[in-house]
Structure 1
Amino acid sequence: MTVNPNRRDILRLGGAVGGGALTAALGLTIAATPAAAASWNSGTWMAGLPDSLSLTQLTIPGTHDSCCVDPTNGTEWAHTQNWGITQQLQRGIRFLDIRLQRFPLNDRETKNWLGVFHDRFPQGSTLRTVLDECRAFFKQSPREALVMRIKNENAGSNPINGVEFLRRMQYHLDGFGYRNLFWTAPRWPRLGEARGKIVLLADFDTSSDSSWDVMHWGNSDLMNIQDHYQDVGTDGKAQAVVNQFDQAWWNQNSPKIYINFTSYAGGKWPKLNADSIMPPVLDYLYARRNEAVHFGIVPMDFPDFHTNVLDLLVAKNFIGR
């Protein structure tokens, strides 16, 4: 069945977020990915896009709590991913959510380290491990770009203050030699400027060093963020995701990136919440699969369980090009 709903119908039906509601209403099936998908490889999907594109003109799939791959590191409540960083990048993820603090043992070896944490739970990884995986990916795929939120998790019995966190970040850039891996200007770059780089979104205090003129997480001049992660229920969360997609849809020329977390931590384990939230997200994206629009950054839990959503997000960057 071929259906060509008008714009008003699509936006109206997009708000009906019961699982399968939109595909049922339009008589669509969701077995196939868009025809445009044939033109890209998920490991190198940015390579063929014009250098002149701003990152604000893209749809960028991402992960939430990107390194939380093992439920033994804090139980299933802290388990948000099955793919590790390298596999995420190979499968098309281009936004990483990295949350850090110091290790309990602040000995000579670890005094400059930052470990990956989910709340108070260490995740068996470090910032250096993450950056080494990103660097290795760029060596294989030099025309890709990443956006990375780096957050001072500041949780548990061993928090790290802003001055010390910034010192350790500075040591990673200069002492460990990662400075050339980052884009640290206070604006969104064009894709040509960002290739082979990690575009830094600093979710930590930089006020102790005036040289850190970077993009800060939550800056309302640069980003519009939806991150309802509890207290709204999975139906409410799905509606929030759809509403944020609509906001991005209506503001295609905005200088901001719309950031739209599909992850939810309330009530049930993250992987079970994703099973409730992602079907209406799929409905919304599938209905718009042929529209030449961009939706910004979309961080997810368990994209391996929802590869159809991941494919639709990447494919948006090729519609009309």
Structure 2
Amino acid sequence: MGPPPLAIRNLSSTPLELKVIERFEIPHVEPKGFANISRNVTHFVVSNTTGNVAPEGPQFAPLTVNAQSYGQQEVSIRIDPFTTNRTDVNTAERTEKDVLRLTFECDGQRYRVDTRTTRQSQELTPLDPDPRKQYTAIWIDKESHLAIYSSANMNCWMKEMADATPLSGLSIPGTHNSPTHHKALPSVRCQAVSPKEQLRNGVRFFDIRVQPEKPEDPNNDGLALVHGVFPISLTGAKPFRKLVNDIFDFLRENPSETLIMSVKREGPGEHTDEQLSNILHQHYATDPALWYTEPRIPSLGDVRGKIVLMRRFALAEPLTHEHDNAGWCLDAQNWAYNTPCDNHGNVCVQDFCEVLETENIGKKIDFCCEHFERAGAQVCPVPGITTDAVNPVPPGPLYLNFLSASNFWKVGCWPERIAAKLNPAVTEFLCTKHDTAEGDNKGDGGVGIVVTDWVGKDGDWDLIRCIVGMNSRLELRERQQQQ
């Protein structure tokens, strides 16, 4: 049985029309090891029952400049914004691994993309000298499915969203144990690249674990970055202060952006949450122009250029009286452990983390996808757009969706191994299945804050681009109101 017919999902805010289909034969390239396989969702088969991963056939090289098509077809297939057109176009006319070159048109301008390349996501090539739009496509090979997003400047993607947008209405890429890109124990390391590179590529939520170095000394501001009881690097302690400075360097260069920072106390020793809260209050979050520490979900305009502090620690008693006795910072303390879904404080969380056997990876994927649908059903209360400007509906909780999980004692359940299976499966779900229900009561189709492991490995930012792309429906709603 051959592959299914071509399906095209338009996740951009503009209508597209497929105008030309060209067909090519292409020589295949044999896989070059696990690393190349793990970065490409189109070469994975993920079992929801076993979580096993197997490469789906050979990899393919991109078309050469002189490649000759063996067939060309003029068509007129319209794909409206936020819809999927399941065409009757055969994707395997000669062989199951033919390449289709698809030419789309929007507002009289044409854009081209090739299916089945070694890279998963790719920018559509504009065929006009002054293109008014930019698009990114992701090809899911086993589904013959092409998802098309509006391209975003990942350095400053929040610039496109209205100031009045509550943070809880945005689809925000995040990272779990964000600074753990150093050489470390394999169960400790969760990231492939540095926080600086994460920020440049669109990540706007950091999950940080710290250990007070001298909690008994109120004048000491030392906080070491840790993961559990371990330092994040085999070469010595890494300071929280440098991470904060790197974040502010980025925000100064990109003042349209904000960074939500979740902070939790970990590490060995006798330190307490209350000591941590005092250190942060007295030595770090001292300037309201740089830090947002109110215990309510802000609008984007309130926090551009700032770090939004989310606490996973208890407060010292005096801090509970801040902000008219409402407390200090966004409250994310003490959500249920190992939870598929828990409403707590300012957050609604999926954090099923005890994937003790590889067979449980499929279960974890299911929990992640279920939480995407919860977030997607929400309508963001944007004052003057989706709620009254004078007496607005208050923002809902921040939907936190942790894609991370691990088991120290099981090699197949270390963070990198789980991410190699889970990240491609989630990307595929977002491209093909998220927010596809019909009906009049659809939400914004967002995904909340998605907290990932091992993004950016070998330059693969497809999942992050996917998450940012899920802001398009809300962005369109805001843009229409402003016109």
TM-score, structure 1 normalization:
0.83
1:28-73, CA deviations, whole angstroms, 9 ceiling, x for partnerless residues?
A: 97653454443x210110012111111111100000001111233x
Aligned to 2:463: 309
Residue 41 of structure 1 corresponds to which residue in structure 2?
153
SS at match of 2:344: coil
Say if 1:173 and 1:179, in contact at 8 Å, map to a contact too. no
Residue 292 of structure 2 corresponds to residue 168 of structure 1 = no
Q: CA deviation at 1:180?
A: 3.2
The within-5 A match list for 1:48-67 is: 48-67=160-179
> Cα deviations across residues 201-225 of structure 1 (Å, max 9, x unaligned)?
1111114222243211146252110
- The letter for the 2-side match of 1:170 is H
Task: Specify whether residues 296 and 85 from structure 1 end up closer, same or farther in structure 2 by C-alpha distance, changes over 3 A only.
Answer: same
Q: Note the alpha carbon deviations across 1:213-244, whole angstroms, 9 max, x for none.
A: 32111462521101111146211111111111
Tell me whether 218-227 or 60-69 shows the greater mean CA deviation: 218-227
CA distance in 2, matches of 1:290, 1:140: 34
Q: In the aligned structure 2, how far is the partner of 1:135 from the partner of 1:278?
A: 29
The higher relative CO (CA closer than 8 Å, separation ≥ 6) is in 1
**Secondary structure in 2 aligned to 1:139?**
helix
In structure 2, the CA distance between the partners of 1:300 and 1:224, relative to structure 1 (3 Å rule), is: same
Q: Secondary structure at the match of 1:42?
A: coil
Query: Cα offset for 1:173?
Result: 2.9
Q: Secondary structure at the match of 1:87?
A: helix
Cα displacement string for residues 144-203 of structure 1 (whole angstroms, at most 9, x for unaligned residues): 0111101111x32x14112321221122236xx555321111111111111011111111
- Residues 29-38 or 184-193, more deviating: 29-38
The code of the aligned residue for 2:281 comes to: Q
Corresponding residue number in structure 2 for 1:216: 331
Deviation at 1:279, TM superposition (A): 2.2
2:297 to 182, 188, 202: 188
Structure 2 alignment gaps of length 5 or more:
10-46, 54-85, 92-114, 122-136, 139-146, 336-342, 381-394, 437-443, 477-483
1:270 is displaced (CA, Å) by: 0.5
Letter of the aligned partner of 1:314 in structure 2? Answer: V
In the alignment, the residues of structure 2 paired with residue 133 and residue 182 of structure 1 have an alpha-carbon distance, to the nearest angstrom, of 14
Who is 2:430 aligned against?
A: 285
**281-290 vs 256-265, greater mean Cα deviation:** 281-290
Q: Which deviates the most, 161-170 or 127-136?
A: 161-170
Matched, 1:294 2:446: yes
CA distance in 2 between partners of 1:122 and 1:107 (Å): 20
CA contact (8 A) 1:115 1:127 kept: yes
Q: Which has the larger radius of gyration?
A: 2
Report whether the alignment pairs 1:248 with 2:248. Answer: no
2: CA distance between counterparts of 1:225 and 1:122? 26
Q: Is the 8 A contact 1:102 1:159 kept in 2?
A: no
1:108-132 deviation line (CA, Å, top 9, x unaligned)? 8993211111112223322211110
Question: Sequence identity, in percent?
Answer: 24
Matched, 1:318 2:472: yes
AA partner of residue 300 (structure 1): T
Aligned 8 A contact 1:101 1:159 in 2: no
Rate the CA distance shift 1:138–1:239 in 2: closer, same or farther, 3 A.
Answer: same
Q: Does 1:102 align with 2:102?
A: no
Cα distance in 1 for residues equivalent to 2:298 and 2:349: 19
* Distance in 2 between residues matched to 1:179 and 1:205, nearest whole Å: 21
Distance in 2, matches of 1:4 and 1:130, equals: 41
Distance 1:152 1:107 in 2: 15
Shift of 1:257: 1.7
Q: Which residue of 2 aligns with 1:226?
A: 350
The answer as to whether partners of 1:81 and 1:302 remain within 8 angstroms in 2 is yes
The residue aligned with 1:131 is 244
Change (3 A) 1:286 1:160: same
Unaligned runs of 5+ in 1: 6-15, 21-25
User: Which SS does the other structure have where 2:164 is aligned?
Assistant: coil
Higher helix share: 1
User: For residues 85 and 249 of structure 1, what CA distance do their matches in structure 2 show?
Assistant: 27
8 Å CA contact 2:260–2:308 kept in 1: the answer is: yes
Q: 1:202 maps to what in 2?
A: 311
> How far apart, in 1, do the equivalents of 2:308 and 2:218 lie?
28
Structure 1 distance, partners of 2:217, 2:328, is 30
1:249 and 1:290 map into 2 onto residues whose CA distance is 6
For residues 183 and 286 of structure 1, the distance between their equivalents in structure 2, rounded to whole angstroms, comes to 34
Aligned equivalent of 2:366: 239
